[in-house]
Amino acid sequence: MKLLADCRLYTFVDTAYLHGRAPELVAQQLCDGGSDLIQLRAKNSSPAEIRRIAEKILPVTRRANVGLVINDHLDIAREIGADFCHLGQEDFFDAGFKNISELRNPHSALRIGLSTHAPEQAQRALDAGADYIAIGPIYATGTKPTAKPVTLDYVRWAAGHTTVPWFAIGGVNLQTLDAVLAAGAKKICVVSALLNSPDLVHTCAEFRRRLESYSPS
């Protein structure tokens, strides 16, 4: 896969939004549309089911040179050979970890991303050695209905203070995209705006085009 620093469009196979579609088919469509990274998120699935889905998606992402991210399940990410594992604050700091090195396996190239919801959390994640961080939710989103939006102010802060790759997430769609980019984001995560689209490949490609063509006015 391309270098993390060059990855701009981070998309999801979220089982809550599949609407009966095969996960590997959705992953292929995201790859065809220009995704750089695809996260498997299956909050209500058992570890065995998540592993089964991941094993179906991994060949798709490998063929397309797209990075596969496993949400929450570090052991599954390691065992199937995923590129990344993404952890929330509760999965890392609240679980007693202080540095990403505590999760490093000398026999694995797995990299770790962390969610952050405020500048102090971002700084803590940077100090802990996260390979990338997610900034959000920028706007209210059905994906995280109880999460308070962090607004574009956090995006502006991240643009001036974050030293590792970071992705703006939460309510990012084709209507809000320009405002997010104008605030300083260069990398985005998109969930429902893609998975609820009637033409996933076309919408994904439009996000890709808009990311690459954006020029601050």
Question: Which CATH number fits the domain that encloses residue 13?
Answer: 3.20.20.70
What share of the chain has pLDDT > 90, as a percent? Answer: 88
Look at residue 143 in the predicted model and tell me its pLDDT: 66
Question: Tokens in use for 121?
Answer: 């959390």
Report the distance separating Cα 179 and Cα 172, nearest Å: 9
| DSSP, res 107 | T
Distances (CA, A) of 29 to 1, 45, 113, 117, 150: 17, 22, 24, 30, 30
Look at residue 109 in the predicted model and tell me its pLDDT: 86
Look at residue 104 in the predicted model and tell me its pLDDT: 84
Look at residue 2 in the predicted model and tell me its pLDDT: 86
Report the distance separating Cα 37 and Cα 35, nearest Å: 6
Tell me the residue range of the domain where 11 lies.
Answer: 4-213
Look at residue 171 in the predicted model and tell me its pLDDT: 94
The number of domains in the chain is: 1
- Tens of pLDDT along the chain (217 residues) come to 889 999 999 999 999 999 999 999 999 999 999 999 999 999 999 999 999 999 999 999 999 999 999 999 999 999 999 999 999 999 999 899 999 999 988 777 899 999 999 999 999 999 999 999 999 999 987 666 677 899 999 999 999 999 999 999 999 999 999 999 999 999 999 999 999 999 999 999 999 999 999 888 6
Three-state DSSP at 185 gives coil
Q: Which residue type is seen at 216? A: P
Strand intervals (E) in 19-76: 37-41, 67-71
Strand 84-87, strand 111-116: pairing: parallel
The 10 Å CB-count burial string (b at 16+, else e) for 1-36 is beebeebbbbbbbbbbbeeeeebbebbbbbbebbbb
